[in-house]
Amino acid sequence: MTLDELIAYCAGKPGAEETYPWGEAELVCKVGGKAFAFIGLDAHTIGLKCGPDAEAAAPWRERFPDDITVSGYVGRYGWNTIALKGSVPDDDLLELVDGSYEAVVARLPKRKRPV
């Protein structure tokens, strides 16, 4: 999966918006004002919520130890960073994006959830 395809997939989620809070090097996809994907445009990485905490997100890191790591600053809250080198299969990557999006939407107040 290319970086452009991944961005299009994230941006195509209901209610998704693209933001650049830290400049042009990182795209943050949000829903209801909350981030569900941190996309490193230069580094070709994506940060996703993979569980409620670091322990719950660990199976993904164990499965792909060379390409999935704990995200800096937010890793203790279940965020992992995935390298987009192609070793994580596209189906798994899309599953992770979907899971991150759904986890964030589930925590939104009902009035902020996409229809």
Per-residue pLDDT tens digits for 52-92:
999 999 999 999 999 999 999 999 999 999 999 879 999 99
- Taking the mean position of all CA atoms in its chain, how far away is CA 11? 12
Q: How far apart are CA 49 and CA 83, in angstroms?
A: 14
Predicted local confidence at residue 56, as pLDDT: 97
Give residue 27's domain range: 3-112
Query: What percentage of the chain reaches a pLDDT higher than 90?
Result: 96
> For the residues 83-111, what does the mean pLDDT come to?
96
Number of separate domains in the chain: 1
| Selection from 37, 2, 1 nearest residue 16 by Cα | 37
> How many other C-beta atoms can be found within 10 angstroms of the C-beta atom of residue 57?
23
